[in-house]
Structure 1
Amino acid sequence: MVIFRVIAFVIIITIISGCQINGPGKIHKVTIEKDPSAFQVVEVTNPASTLSLTVRHMVSNDDVFVECYVPGFQFTDRSTSNTNKEGHLKISVDHQKPYSVYKAAFIVKNLSKGTHEIAVTLVDSQGKTIEGLYEQFVVTIP
């Protein structure tokens, strides 16, 4: 069991070190130094499309690391087909205008102290929300 945790930690650190999303100044590369078992996990499914969305998040200082797992789904900024098996995420913080993220893992950086609501929505390659694949969670920055 310890071996699996070490392997999971190495994989997460590898993902984190490569994640840098260009956006409206809120998402940046950051190093997470906490145990990955501290992640909070929520899973939602859509039986009509056979897709499921698992969202994990962890707070570190004033940053929130978010990881989304969608088996059989390709994250892309370009449409190569008209299926709902590819697309991207729409992220909204505190009900602000959502912005697009084209990777499964990202960092919401420099949040102010207090409680914040983060919404993650899976959209297809045409920009349409995939029904039922939406998750909203609350984080508290100390």
Structure 2
Amino acid sequence: MRIAAGLIAVCILLSGCGGQIPRKEWNEVDAATYTKGNQVSIRHFVKEDDLFVECIIPSVSFSGSKHARQAKIKVYVDGAYEGEYNTAAFVVKGLEKGVHTVKLEVVDKTTDADLGIRRQFYITVT
């Protein structure tokens, strides 16, 4: 009786895959940060020596919307200023191998006033 129940369980588990095992196309690190109050979502992944970042911040606009505050993102890698981006998604290219601390600061597009939205995360470039 136990053997039959065990065989049924194994058959159910094996039929769930349907013969296709999911696989990733890239060797990537994917992370998201959510803050309930601001609904801020920061996603990032590393491919080779490039860092891909996507920011979803409903309280600001990067595209010129008249209904939200205009913003840009300042990027720091290991404490050094890397650049600023006027888009919600961007790529930081040519990072050195190793572990890095990445800090993002969202500021007003025209005055550079701090908007109080900051995120910090770690990445590994291999």
Tell me the TM-score normalised to structure 1 length: 0.60
How many aligned positions are there? Answer: 101
> Following TM superposition, where does structure 1 have runs of at least 4 consecutive aligned residues deviating by more than 6 angstroms?
none
1:115 and 1:140 in contact (8 A); partners too = yes
Please give the alpha-carbon distance, in whole angstroms, between the structure 2 residues aligned to 1:94 and 1:84.
Answer: 31
1:84 deviates by 7.0
| 1:62 corresponds to 2:49 | yes
2:52 and 2:90 in contact (8 A); partners too = yes
Aligned with 1:40 (options 2, 12, 31)? 31
Please give the alpha-carbon distance, in whole angstroms, between the structure 1 residues aligned to 2:43 and 2:90.
Answer: 11
Partner of 2:11: none
Higher relative contact order (CA 8 A, sep 6+): 1
Partner amino acid for 1:73?
V
1:128 deviates by 0.9
Query: Greater share of strand residues, 1 or 2?
Result: 2
Q: Which runs of 5+ in 2 are unaligned?
A: 1-24
The 5 Å alignment of 1:93-108 reads 93-97=77-81, 99-108=83-92
Partner of 2:19: none
Partner amino acid for 1:102?
N
SS at match of 1:103: coil
1:44 deviates by 3.2
Tell me the TM-score normalised to structure 2 length: 0.67
1:42 deviates by 0.8
Q: Max radius of gyration: which structure?
A: 2
Please give the alpha-carbon distance, in whole angstroms, between the structure 1 residues aligned to 2:91 and 2:59.
Answer: 23
Q: CA RMSD in A?
A: 2.6
% identity of equivalent residues: 29
